[in-house]
Amino acid sequence: MTSQAIYNNRLVRLARFLRTDPVFDFSDFLSNIQARFKPDLSCGTSACALGWAAALPEFRALGVELSVDRNQTLFQLDGKNCSFHTVSARLFGLTEKEARYLFMPAYRIAGYPSSPPGNATARQVANHILRFVRLRRAG
């Protein structure tokens, strides 16, 4: 299997998870941060699609984690702080523009329909991710 196929399969698995309607907030990687934050988000906080990816065991096994410092969400790869672009590239083979398009509200890139608004549901974002995968496979 090519790396592109692996990345697409990971995006599909994330979209399938999002269709289970987790506590979701497309406008923030991690919101409603509580004093007893848990990296698997069992603390009840909400997260966007990439925040949930970093909380799921399958993706955590690839070295991705979430942490909170002074109510700021931090992504980590192999124990080092990194940007969401770096996490997106590692997990899903995305460029910075593609990462913004999938994981940030109302973002546009040429050749694709606009990403959903900030108040999008987890299911809407899941459908957005799946549409992106279909377009990427066809491209």
Write out the two tokens for 99: 């990462």
pLDDT at 26: 87
Please give the order of strands across the beta sheet that includes 64-69: 64-69, 72-77, 80-82
Q: Which residue, chain included where needed, has tokens 């995305």?
A: 94
Rg (CA), the chain: 14
Report the alpha-carbon distance of residue 132 to residue 70 in Å, rounded: 34
Q: What is the pTM of this model?
A: 0.90
Q: Which residue, chain included where needed, has tokens 């969401």?
A: 84
Residue 85's domain spans which residues? 3-138
- The DSSP symbol for 69 reads E
Mean pLDDT by 10 residues, the chain (139 residues): 93 97 84 69 83 92 86 84 93 95 90 88 96 90
Could you give the number of structural domains in the chain?
1
